[in-house]
Amino acid sequence: MVSFAKGHGTKNDFVLLVDPDDELLLTDAAVRFLCDRRGGIGGDGVLRAVRARHVPEWSGDPDLWFMDYRNADGSIAEMCGNGVRVFARHLVAEGLVPAGTTTVGIGTRAGLREAEVLPDGRIRVAMGRPRLAAAEVEVSLAAGVPEQRWRARAVDVGNPHAVVWLEGDDLDGLDLTRPPVWTPREAFPDGVNIEFVAPVGDHHVRMRVFERGVGETASCGTGTVAVAAALADRGENQSESTWRVDVPGGSVEVTLRDGDAWLTGPAEIVARGDVAWPQEEA
């Protein structure tokens, strides 16, 4: 049996494991089992807390907690904005950082991220500098249906995104039960998270997202940052601004300042328990 916790950030949900000495064999099959909503615990991904010294690609402080993030299908992801908030909440709640800590440094495959626990209980994460690609990308929901084909803006937030701005299209009516298609395919050789965005008001938008390796989720933290960066590039705000992004699971705030981004939102731990660890590949 292995101890776990279950948490979510705006209903983007995760199974959390603490494995300081890198002893768990976290295979793709184990991740799929843990994330299975009928046969396992259920989640959009797994967040494993391991000391950074055990991560070969990490070259920073070896004593940091590293967020080893896996999508529900077992694939490795570089970064997760909702996940890193939940990860920080878990470190504090489990006493894995010194008592009274309000700012936590976390290693990720996208680099160091600092998470701050705010007085109102939300968590703010320094997300670094989003990078916008110059190349045009086209996204479609059904090949050969022109009315469901849009230009998208490619944004890198430590992981890849394609942001679609809907001009009069029905955000709620989009069929995201199947993976969207993008061209050129070589724009995202390792897959991409695709955000569909509709206006609500001044610096206020709604978003749905199809996450690579998962499907449609109730929220995507890095996706909300990508959306804010893409809108800023449209000339709709000055060098500093805060955007409210509503997702099916709630709302977050993205602050842009001189090219850098901060993501603020809730993070909850909702359950703890023990799970029978799978003994062989599925």
Question: 82 among the known binding-site residues?
Answer: yes
Question: 211 among the known binding-site residues?
Answer: yes
DSSP secondary structure code for residue 218 in this structure: S
- Quick one: how far is CA 43 from the chain centroid? 13
Question: 237 among the known binding-site residues?
Answer: no
Question: 212 among the known binding-site residues?
Answer: yes
Question: 95 among the known binding-site residues?
Answer: no
Helices marked H in the chain: 28-35, 81-93, 221-233
For CA atoms 168, 249, 68, 72, the dihedral sign is: negative
Q: Rounded to the nearest 5°, which phi and psi values hold at 148?
A: -115, 45
Please identify which residue in the block is written with the tokens 């749905």. 208
Active-site residue numbers? 80, 220
How much of the chain is helix, strand and coil, in % rounded to 5? 15, 45, 40
CB 135 within 8 A of CB 187: yes
185: helix, coil or strand? helix
- Dihedral (Cα; 83, 104, 239, 165), 10-degree rounding: 0
Question: 12 among the known binding-site residues?
Answer: yes
| Binding-site residues from annotation | 12, 71, 81-82, 159, 193, 211-212, 221-222
| Binding-site residues from annotation for substrate | 12, 71, 81-82, 159, 193, 211-212, 221-222
